Amino acid sequence: MGSSSELQLVGGSGVNGVYTNDPRARARFINLQTQKKVKAFKLKLRNYKRPDFNRMILDLSRLGWTHEKIAFLLPVSGASTVSEWARGGIPNYDNGAAFIELWRMETGIMRYPLEDEWMTYKYKIGQMDIFEDGGLCDQVIDELDREIKG
């Protein structure tokens, strides 16, 4: 193993092992098909955006969920973990997937928000629609007018 001319075993044992200076092993990573796949993967990775956990936590908060309630349902140590996600921390895959599923079930929205696209699409969670058609505002104003006059 001391000199660089010796073969070094990377994986496996005996004859079936993969050696680092084996030309056949290196050729697998050089062929054209692999290069195309790697290039396509890197292009997709460039546009990858992770889930916006902060926005999802805010949405659940608007629905009455606290960090403690979220942490109780998810396999995390406590509310401080959820608070860390709200400050920009990244959960591990299992906790993140469980949190996204909780958010989907509570909001009824299947497409979860991604970072840096908060203005590209909108949805309403826990918001009052009093100014949409003016109907509720008009009812409140009419009720106040009746109380003032009556």
Report d(CA 108, CA 149) in Å as an integer.
44
The DSSP code for 26 is H
Cβ–Cβ < 8 Å for 130, 136:
yes
- The encoded tokens of residue 113 equal 């928000």
- The encoded tokens of residue 61 equal 């908060």
Radius of gyration of the chain from its Cα atoms, rounded to whole angstroms: 27
Burial of 82 (0-12, 13-18, 19+ CB in 10 A): buried
Mean of pLDDT over the chain: 76
Is the pLDDT at 136 greater than 50, yes or no?
yes
Is the pLDDT at 14 greater than 80, yes or no?
no
Percent of the chain predicted with pLDDT > 90: 22
Of the two residues 147 and 19, the one the predictor is more confident about is 147
* CA-to-CA dists, residue 137 to 10, 73, 142, 150, angstroms: 72, 38, 9, 20
* CA-to-CA dists, residue 51 to 31, 59, 68, 88, 103, angstroms: 34, 13, 21, 11, 11
| Average pLDDT value for residue range 36-65 | 86
pLDDT tens sequence across 63-121: 899 999 999 999 898 899 999 999 889 899 999 999 999 999 988 888 888 887 766 66
pTM: 0.57
Q: pLDDT value at position 33?
A: 61
Element at 19 (helix H, strand E): strand 18-19
User: Where in the chain are the domains?
Assistant: 9-46, 53-107
The DSSP code for 74 is T
